Amino acid sequence: MSFLNYLINGLSLGSVYAIIALGYTMVYGIAKMLNFAHGDIIMVGSYIVYSAMSMAGMHPAIAILIAMVGCMVLGVVTERVAYRPLRGASSSLAVLITAIGVSYLLQNIALLVFGADTKAFTSVINWKGITLFDGELQIRGTTIITIAVGLLVLFGLQAFIHRTKSGQAMLAVAQDRGAATLCGIDVNKTIAITFAIGSSLAAVAGVLFCSTYPTITPYIGSMPGIKAFVAAVFGGIGSIPGAMIGGLTLGVIEILSRTYISSQLSEAIVFAILIVVLLVKPTGLLGKRVMEKV
C-alpha cells in the first residue's frame, strides 16, 4: 500500500515537471531555442503568489491569476527584448547564452527584492484529501489537485493547438518557419503567444511545486527547471504528449528511487535513465525522427 502512496506522490511531482516541460517543449518546438530562463519564471510566479497572499492578503485564486498574468507579461517581454533580436543570429548558442543571462538576471532581482532567506509558502490548497482502504491509503489534497491540474493543462493545450487558428499557426511555424511566413502566418506573433502560454503555465507549476514543497528561495526554479527540461527531452522535445509522459515518468522514477534505492543518488538515477532512453531512441520517446539530407 505504501508503494501505491509513493506512486501517487511520484505522479504528483511528475505533473509539476510535466507542466514545466510543456513550456520548454513548446518554446523549443516553435522558437528552436533552449530557454534556460524558464525555470526562473517558476520562481517569479511563486514569489508573486507569495507576496499577493502573505503580504496583500489576497484570495489564493486571485493571487494565482495575478501570477499567471505577471509571468505571461514577463515571458513576452523577455522574448521581445532579449530573444527576438537574436533570431537569425549566425550561431544558435547566442540565444542560449542570452537565456542564461536572463536566468541570472531574474535570480538576482529576486535576491534583491526578497532577500536570500527562505520564505515559508502557505499552500494554496486547503483540502485535506481523501482516505481510502480504512486509512491505509492517504492521498493529500495537494497531490490530487496537482495531478488534476496537470491533466487539465494537457487536454486544454491539445485542444488549443489542434482546434484554434493560433494553435494551428504554432504547428506550422514549428514545422517550417519559412513556409509558414509564406502562408501569411505572423511568426513573431506566434512565438510571442508560445512564450505567453509557456510562461503562464510556469506560474501554475510554481504554485503547485511550492504547495508541495512549501519554501521559496531565489534559486528554487533551477532544479525543477532542469529536470523538466530532462523530462521534455525524455518524451521527445517538441512533442506535447511526450512532455506529459516524460514529466510523469520522471516524477515517479525520482520518488521511487529516492524511497527504495538511495535518496542521495536519486538525481543520478534520473539522469542515467535519460541517457539510456536517448541511446535507445535518440529523439526521445515520442520525438519525430528527422531524416538527414545530403
Residues that bind other proteins (CB under 8 A): 28, 34, 36, 82, 85-91, 93-94, 96-98, 100-102, 104-105, 107-109, 111-112, 222, 226, 229-230, 233, 237, 262, 264-265, 267-268, 271-272, 274-275, 278-279, 282-284, 292, 294
Strand pairing partners for 120?
215
- Quote the CA–CA distance of 167 and 189 in Å, as a whole number: 12
Give the E-state strand segments of the chain in sequence order.
Answer: 119-120, 130-132, 137-139, 215-216
Q: Which is nearer to other proteins, 23 or 167 (CB)?
A: 23
| Number of C-beta neighbours around residue 46 at 10 A | 29
- Quote the CA–CA distance of 115 and 263 in Å, as a whole number: 29
Q: Which is nearer to other proteins, 191 or 233 (CB)?
A: 233
Q: Which is nearer to other proteins, 167 or 287 (CB)?
A: 287
CB of 287 to other proteins, least distance (A): 9
Q: Which is nearer to other proteins, 51 or 283 (CB)?
A: 283
Determine the Cα angle at 207 with ends 285 and 210, to 5°: 90
CB of 4 to other proteins, least distance (A): 27
CB of 146 to other proteins, least distance (A): 25
CB of 145 to other proteins, least distance (A): 30
Q: Which is nearer to other proteins, 126 or 264 (CB)?
A: 264
- Quote the CA–CA distance of 170 and 187 in Å, as a whole number: 8
Determine the Cα angle at 223 with ends 218 and 229, to 5°: 125
